[in-house]
Amino acid sequence: MTFRLPSAAPLLKTPQTAVLEGLAGFVPPDAVANDALPAAWDVDDAWVRRRTGIGERHRAASGVTTGDLALTAAARALAVAGDPLVDAVIVTTSTPDRPMPAMAPRLATRLGLGEIAAWDVSAACSGFVYGLASAVGALTSGCADRVLLVSAEVYSTLLDPQDRSAGILFGDGAGAVVLRRGEREEPGAVLALDLGGDGSGDELIQVPGGGAQERSRPGDYGPDDRYFRMRGREVFQHAVTRMTQSAHTVLKRADWAAEDVDRFCAHQANARILSAVGDRIPVPGERHVTNIERVGNTGAASIPLALADAQSRGGLRPGERVLLTAFGAGLTWGSAALVWPELPAVPRIDDLDHPAPRTTPIA
């Protein structure tokens, strides 16, 4: 299989870019350990850990939606940033509360942010990187001075109870960042981006039903088509190849060598993919940012959740060069390079007592 490599020319040609100034994450309190998975799946803790690196994943309670998780993560990130004025809200998710309208306007209203620009991005597990590129565009074009970017998923609503291959992987959660317009020389600056897609692989990861296609041809679909489906072996090959290539492209655009990378945070798909991509860049394992063992695969939320988790535990230091990369359904993939800023204290992602200011009751 051959792929066309994108140009290594820098995409961020202006002196200004997005600068990270707030970060937070949240996972619901219900943690499902490997030993608590359905007996019918015939798995145990050792088997799951060996195949995926996952020890537990969190599940949203009945009645808790993607928007609810997004609200908590967003309010926390705003608090970390000092509750600044925000001009735009971007939400990235594969599990929106409704097909229409977009989630972002409602989230902005629930946060009390007023009548500001708000839109959703759908790029599956690459959503955070795609959202980051969208935020950079809004900031550098002058459409906004500050952007709240939120990635949230409740994958448990898409999982087939009979499908252990997906059931052992996915968890629910949300991560959020606050970005302002700033200079490329500032700590926290996004220095380079790369995005890619290949629609010829759209059936490798999908939820076949539930959309306009099913509504126009209802006879072609059954109840099971509302569930998440993935062809794991093919996805593994694409994920490793695409994330590796994209990461190398971003390194060239940032004018970094692999050995310059202090911290590497990939989409938390499974431990074997993370290891394979890290080996091919290469970035040694001790520089990886990962929390898949405790939260599983949280889709678009996985990168900001891993970063927030690491920051809350002292695992990221100001001035470190951070490389991000992701791969998801679509097929989509993307990478980003930034220099880590000094941030105020970030709450632990499983801290239920941290206040969520600037919120309004649900109507």
For 45-84, the DSSP string reads: HHHHHHHH--SEEEEPPTT--HHHHHHHHHHHHHHHTTS-
143 is catalytic: no
pLDDT (0 to 100) of residue 351? 83
Task: Work out the burial of residue 327: count CB atoms within 10 Å of its CB; fewer than 13 is exposed, 13-18 middle, 19 or more buried.
Answer: buried
Q: Which residues pair with 59 in a beta bridge?
A: 30
pLDDT above 90 as % of the chain: 92
Q: What is the pLDDT of residue 353?
A: 61
What pLDDT, on a 0 to 100 scale, did the predictor assign at position 258? 97
State the pLDDT at residue 356: 43
Q: What is the pLDDT of residue 9?
A: 46
Tell me, yes or no, if 297 is annotated catalytic. Answer: yes
Find out whether 103 and 91 touch, Cβ atoms under 8 Å. Answer: yes
The pLDDT score that the predictor gives to residue 15 is: 83
Angle 133-139-143 (CA atoms, 0-180°, nearest 5)?
115
From CA 92, how far away is CA 131, in angstroms rounded?
6
DSSP 3-state of 140: helix
Whether residue 214 is predicted with pLDDT greater than 90 in this model: the reply is yes
Predicted local distance difference test score (pLDDT) of residue 12: 56
Distance (Å) of CA 71 to CA 75, 180, 181? 6, 20, 23
pLDDT at position 138 over 50: yes
- Which position among 34, 270, 291, 297 bears the catalytic label? 297
CA distances from 334 to 67, 99, 125 (A): 24, 25, 10
- Per-residue pLDDT, averaged over 304-324, amounts to 98
**Helix, strand, coil abundance in the chain, percent, nearest 5:** 35, 25, 40
DSSP-H helix ranges across the chain: 45-52, 66-80, 103-110, 127-140, 164-167, 212-216, 232-254, 271-280, 292-295, 302-312
Strands 229-230 and 117-121, how do they pair?
A: unpaired
Q: Per the residue annotation, which of 34, 125, 248, 265 is the catalytic one?
A: 125
Over 90: is that where the pLDDT of 238 sits? Answer: yes
Catalytic member of 58, 238, 267, 288: 267
CA–CA separation, 23 vs 139, rounded Å?
18
User: pLDDT tier at 362 (50, 70, 90 boundaries)?
Assistant: very low
**Whether pLDDT at 1 is above 80:** no
Confidence class for position 219, pLDDT limits 50, 70, 90: very high
What is the mean predicted confidence (pLDDT) over 7-19?
Answer: 69
Residue 68 pLDDT exceeds 80: yes
Separation CA 358–CA 240 (nearest Å) = 40
Residue 39 scores a pLDDT above 50: yes
User: In this model, does residue 115 exceed pLDDT 70?
Assistant: yes
Query: Dihedral sign, CA of 116, 117, 121, 125?
Result: negative
Better-scored residue on pLDDT, 59 or 352: 59
Across 282-304, average pLDDT: 98
At 11 the pLDDT is 53
